[in-house]
Amino acid sequence: MRRSDGEPGTQDRQRPRQSRVIAAACLRLWGLAPLTDPACLVLSELVTNAFVHGRGALVTVRLFLTAAELCIEVCDGSPWVSRQPCPDPLAPSGRGLSLVDAVVDAWGVCEDGARVWCLIRRDLGTPEGHR
């Protein structure tokens, strides 16, 4: 997804939704519909962060499967490492990475700061997969 120039504009604000729609379609195609809600929440938060805080010209999203996990990567091309803030309880924002942390099995930021990755167990939809 190419970033519009300057401040996040209308087109940029549509990117999280577009990412969710594509991810939901992929997960249905892969037979992993039970992962749709957590994956879409993660994508929404990470893509929003990439457009709001990232400085790169492109934001890329990758979804892929391993034998045990759904892997999500969002790359903003920015050399700055994202930090997980301690949000003010009354602030209207600042909870994105806390939400991500709550729904994924693992996540991190690559050393170059340009990519955030998350892992969600594929067995989430089975009884033993419930948290």
Chain-centre distance for alpha carbon 109: 12
Provide the CA 70 distance to its chain's centre, in angstroms: 12
| pLDDT > 70 in the chain, percent | 71
Q: What is the pLDDT of residue 131?
A: 42
Q: Which of 74, 66, 95, 81 is nearest to 15 (CA)?
A: 74
Q: Which of 124, 7, 117 is nearest to 54 (CA)?
A: 7
Residue that the structure tokens 């992993």 belong to: 32
Domains in the chain: ranges and CATH: 10-129 (3.30.565.10)
pLDDT tens per residue across span 73-124: 999 877 766 565 566 666 656 667 888 889 999 998 887 768 899 999 998 6
Q: Is the pLDDT of residue 57 over 90?
A: no
Band the pLDDT of 59: cuts 50, 70, 90: confident
